[in-house]
Amino acid sequence: MNDRPNTPFTELEQRLRRAAPPCAPAPRAARVARVCAAVDTLPPPRAHHSAHPAFRLLARRVAALALIVLSAVLATRLATRQPLQPSLPLLSATSLLDGLGALHVPQRMTGPLAAESENLLTDLVTLTTVVNERTLAILF
């Protein structure tokens, strides 16, 4: 960010860097000694948590591999166990649906439909006649 030469704050950044007070050339021995004395009274840090990064990576890979293998084993077992489950009795669809045929009563609708059609036709003719008469009555 500060390395860009054309930023409007380049001079300010350089000035801030120049004005930063330097560190003390040497640490305060008394302060460090006090810290070290305090550290000596503490138990050592838990070294067993500080596993090497390469070991952590290896452990993660082993764990992932174990998870994959266990998942595969579980899936295989489920697949092989499925036929052992108590299966439902085989039912024939045709034998069940055959009974429905007995419930169906064929009805002949030709006659009623033909009569209805004639009625509609008669009504339409009557309506047309009436409309024509009214229309002519308005005109003449």
Instruction: Please report, as residue ranges, which positions from 22 to 51 form the binding site for another protein (by CB under 8 A).
Output: 23-28, 31-32, 34-36, 38-40, 42, 44-50
Q: In the numeric block, which tokens belong to residue 121?
A: 């036709």
Which residue type, as a one-letter code, is found at position 61? Answer: R
User: Interface with another protein includes 84 (CB under 8 A)?
Assistant: no
Four-CA torsion 58, 60, 65, 70, nearest 10 degrees: 140
Count other Cβ atoms within 10 Å, centred on residue 13.
14
Query: Among 4, 17, 81, 108, which residue sits at the site for another protein (rule: CB under 8 A)?
Result: 17
Kindly tell me which residue out of 4, 6, 11, 104 binds another protein, with binding defined by CB under 8 A.
Answer: 11
How many residues bind another protein, per CB under 8 A?
36
Nearer to another protein, 40 or 137 (CB): 40
Residues 37, 29: Cα–Cα separation, whole Å: 12
| Cα–Cα nearest to 16, from 1, 36, 32 | 1
Nearer to another protein, 10 or 122 (CB): 10
Residue 10 CB neighbours (<10 A): 13
**Residues within the interface to another protein (CB under 8 A):** 1-2, 8-9, 11-13, 15-17, 19-21, 23-28, 31-32, 34-36, 38-40, 42, 44-50, 53
